[in-house]
Amino acid sequence: MSIIKVFTGCFKDTLVQLMRCAAIYDFSDRDLLNPTPERYKRILSGLINFVLFETEQVPLVLNPLEESLNDLQNQRDELLERISKSRKDNSDLDRKHEEEERIAGELIPQIEGYKATILECKDMTDPLEQRRAELLNTRRTICEQNRNAVTEVQRLENEINRLSTRIARSPEKVKSAIESLQKTLSSELSSIASLESNSHYLERRIKSIDQYQKDLLQCLKLADEWEIETLKVEEVKKTLNSLNEEYESKVFELNEIEKKSSQAQRRTEVMQEQISRVHSGIHRKRKAGIERQTKTQEKHLEEIEFQTEYEKESQILTNEKMMLISEDKDLAEDYIRSMKKGQAAYDTLRSELLHYCMKHTTALTAVENKLQNISLGNGGHPTD
């Protein structure tokens, strides 16, 4: 019994919802159990209008839904393609990250060795600079001495030339002077040679120190570049860490998107089932509407035939009515003519009666006067 009540309640609720869709908001149990003809006609009219309206609105409603469904499916396919591409890119990034970590692991010991060498070179820079400054000062001193020696050699050569002119006059003095000058010159030349050798040695040392300084600066530059590269490697590591975090978040978002995509797929399937049910219901309703329309057209044709017969009978009755009206009009005219004749006869009779009455009254008056005169002539005694 309770199951029957549940079925009855579900049937009533469904029927009430259907009536509300058909803009019948006052549907009650009385309309279901004992409807009046007016209510029955109104409810059927509302349902028929609803079915016709739904049949007209199906292309306007279902077609956009189907288009939106196709758009959602295209978006889903595009999203799946982007997801697969993102997975491929992430796998490539993972491989690249592993390769860079391996290379960075191999370069770290070399970088540490270069750092130690650079620190040692930095420690050697100040003594080398100091030694270079000392050598430059020594070189300047030797150059000054060399210039002085050259000046002295020039002076001695001039002296030799001067003395050569005096040889003829005092050969002994000149000879002794020449010998002393030769000794002085040889000593000066030896000192000049030693100074030149020292100068060349100092120049070579200065050049080697300059080259060493250039090499040291190049090493320092390379060290700075290595530090920059190390910082870049650290930045790359940070970037890779952030990319890993982003990848994990993207993987989480991807899982969420896959869940939503599966939910959307299920909703799409449910919507497709609903659309198929709606299509089948619309087909049934359209078929029933076509049958009702056919019956309505047949009934309309019958009504047209009945109306044609009615119009024919109405035309016949109208013609008969016009004939009766014409006959009534003729009778009325005859009656009016008869009335006019009767009125004229009545007027003639009345005038004659009035004339007769007047003559009768005059005669009676004359008789009365005559009788009165007669009675007065007999002495006031009337005679029989």
> Which stretches within 22-36 are classed as H helix?
29-33
Smallest CA-to-CA distance from 283 within 41, 25, 58 is with: 58
Q: Which residue has the tokens 């490539």?
A: 92
Is pTM, for the whole model, over 0.75? no
User: Domains along the chain?
Assistant: 92-275 (1.10.287)
Angle at 46 between CA 40 and CA 52, to 5 degrees: 135
- Would you state the pLDDT for residue 384? 44
Asked if 196 and 143 touch (Cβ cutoff 8 Å), the reply is no
- Would you state the pLDDT for residue 325? 73
Going residue by residue through the chain, which has 384 residues, state the pLDDT in tens, using 9 for 90 and above.
Answer: 567 777 778 888 888 888 888 888 888 888 878 888 888 888 888 888 888 887 887 777 777 777 888 888 888 888 888 888 878 887 888 888 788 778 877 777 777 776 777 667 666 666 767 777 777 787 778 777 777 777 777 777 777 677 666 655 555 665 676 667 667 767 766 766 676 676 677 677 677 767 766 766 676 676 677 677 777 767 766 776 776 677 677 667 667 766 766 676 676 676 667 666 655 665 666 566 566 656 656 665 676 676 677 677 767 877 777 777 777 677 667 767 766 776 676 667 667 666 766 776 777 788 778 777 877 765 544 444
Q: How far apart are CA 350 and CA 358, in angstroms?
A: 12
Q: How far apart are CA 316 and CA 106, in angstroms?
A: 120
